[in-house]
Amino acid sequence: QVQLVESGGGLVQPGGSLRLSCAGPGRTFSRSAMGWFRQAPGKEREFVAAISWSGDNTYYADSGKGRFTISRDNTKNTAYLQMNSLKPEDTAVYYCAADLAGTLRYPPLIRPSSYDYWGQGTQVTVSS
């Protein structure tokens, strides 16, 4: 069982920033594409961003384009989601996920079912 561990969530005011981190086991992480999803109360889990195993390719949902940046450091087995200009509607539990396929394939990359492993989630609350 592969364990992914998210961190970095919290309470932030509108317009603020947060950086989420997702750590995973070495060999599995470095070969996996990584995705970030979020789920607000009463809503379905939705795609936020994804990055290929090499970091060369990224993909963003429209909701985060220009505000969110996904990145990874395979030497640290960690993926990141930098979130700027946060809005109240960004409030959700954020999850990272690993796709063992490694490359980004659209549209599968936006589907939760395409990912093999998930973290436990980290709460992000944007409120004044």
Rounded distance between C-alpha atoms, residue 54 and residue 37, angstroms:
20
pLDDT of 94 strictly over 80? yes
What percent of the chain has pLDDT above 70? Answer: 100
Q: What is the pLDDT of residue 25?
A: 85
User: Which pair of tokens denotes residue 34?
Assistant: 């990584």
- What's the chain's length in residues? 128
What pLDDT score does 90 carry?
A: 98
Q: Distances from the Cα of 71 to the Cαs of 42, 88, 89, 90, in angstroms?
A: 29, 23, 23, 19
pLDDT in tens, 26-83: 788 889 999 999 999 999 999 999 999 999 999 999 999 999 999 999 999 999 999 9
Tokens of 63: 């909701």
- Work out the average pLDDT over 107-119: 94
| Residue 109 predicted with pLDDT over 90 | yes
Give strand pairing partners of 73: 78
Q: What is the mean pLDDT of the chain?
A: 95
Task: Specify the higher pLDDT residue, 20 or 105.
Answer: 20
pLDDT at 1: 73
